[in-house]
Every structure is written in C-alpha cells, then in structure tokens.
C-alpha cells in the first residue's frame, strides 16, 4: 500500500480497500447467483448486463479496489463523472471491469451499511460507459435499502454533478 499513500491526497485510513474476485462465471450464472442471494437488480442494471459490450472474463482473477469520495479526490464542491475519473487516473486509479459490480455485491454483504436514501451511503462503480446513448444507463451503484441489498443501474447526463460525499470504487495498486 505504500505506493498508494504517496499518490492519493488523503490518508489510507479514510479509504476502504477490498480484494474482489472476478471472472469464471457467465452472465447467466452471475444473474442466478444474485437471485439465489436475494440481491435486487433494477431494470437499468439489467440493461447494462444485457448489453453486448458487458464482458465477463472466463478466468478467475483477484482485483484490489479502493473506495474514495469525490471530496477526497479534491472536489469539495462536487464534480462530473469525467472530472472524477480524470482525477482518479492522475492518482494511478483505474476504472473497473463492468462485471466487478456483480462480484463485489455478492462478496461484500455489509450488514453495517446504512439503510439510508442519502447520497454517499452507496458505492458507485467506476466503469467505462457501454453506450454513448444518453438514454442508456451510465453505470452501477451498490446500495442497501429497507428491502435488501441491490445492484442498481443509473442514468445521468455528462453534466451531472456528483456530490462531494458520493463514493466511487476504482481499481488500485
């Protein structure tokens, strides 16, 4: 972790690092695992998974991720997705493979995650957008609601301003 400390503008204690195992499952197997584990998936999330460019890798792989807020990236008044991703890249972080959201939700069921509709209490998965069509969902976020744990897809415009307390998950190290 020493290399991350020198690149990021905050102390490692404020960050959440996770090892996430991805790969080795088909889209159908991932969807069945979500269903078997009673993890909700909204229509936008399903649209992302069903897109031709949503790729699952055939071999298992472990990825180290970091969860960081928009403010911790230096945007105290919020930022667009492009600004967040660009700043994260300057600190050596990378966007996640599209399948990471599903594996992360399956592997990290955090019962201490607040049941709260307030922004900042879920993890936005930094990922490459699969379509330039503004009507197509932009990405995933992981959330806990009163009715359980969810993977939700979302739509937003390129001008959407993320709040300083919104949190993103990137690949690190």
Q: Are 85 and 1 in contact (CB under 8 A)?
A: no
Q: Looking at the chain, which runs of residues are DSSP E strands?
A: 16-22, 40-41, 61-69, 123-125, 139-145, 148-154, 167-171
> Rounded to whole angstroms, how far apart are CA atoms 26 and 16?
28
Question: Exposure of 102 by Cβ count < 10 A (0-12 exposed, 13-18 middle, 19+ buried)?
Answer: buried
Model confidence over 7-57: pLDDT tens digits?
Answer: 777 777 778 899 999 999 999 999 999 999 999 999 999 999 999 999 999
Phi then psi for 84, rounded to 5 degrees? Answer: -60, -50
Model confidence over 123-144: pLDDT tens digits?
Answer: 999 999 999 898 999 999 998 8
Q: Residue 1 has what pLDDT?
A: 43
- Of the chain, the percentage scoring pLDDT greater than 70 comes to 90
> Rounded to whole angstroms, how far apart are CA atoms 27 and 46?
11
pTM of the model: 0.90
Residue 146's pLDDT band, with cuts at 50, 70 and 90, is: confident
């Amino acid at each position: 972790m020493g290399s991350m400390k020198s690149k990021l503008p905050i102390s490692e204690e404020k960050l959440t690092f996770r090892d996430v195992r991805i790969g080795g499952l088909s889209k159908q197997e991932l969807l069945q695992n979500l269903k078997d584990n009673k993890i909700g998936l909204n229509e936008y999330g399903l649209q992302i998974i069903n897109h031709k460019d949503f790729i699952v890798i055939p071999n298992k792989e472990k990825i180290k991720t970091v969860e960081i807020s928009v403010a911790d990236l230096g945007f105290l008044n919020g930022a667009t997705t492009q600004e967040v991703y660009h700043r994260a890249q300057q600190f050596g972080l990378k966007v996640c493979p599209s399948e990471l959201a599903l594996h992360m939700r399956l592997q990290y069921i955090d019962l201490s995650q607040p049941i709260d509709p307030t922004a900042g209490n879920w993890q936005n998965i930094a990922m490459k957008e699969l379509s330039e069509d503004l009507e197509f969902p932009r990405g995933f976020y992981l959330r806990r609601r009163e009715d359980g744990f969810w993977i939700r897809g979302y739509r937003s415009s390129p001008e959407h301003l993320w709040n300083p307390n919104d949190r993103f998950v990137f690949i690190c190290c």
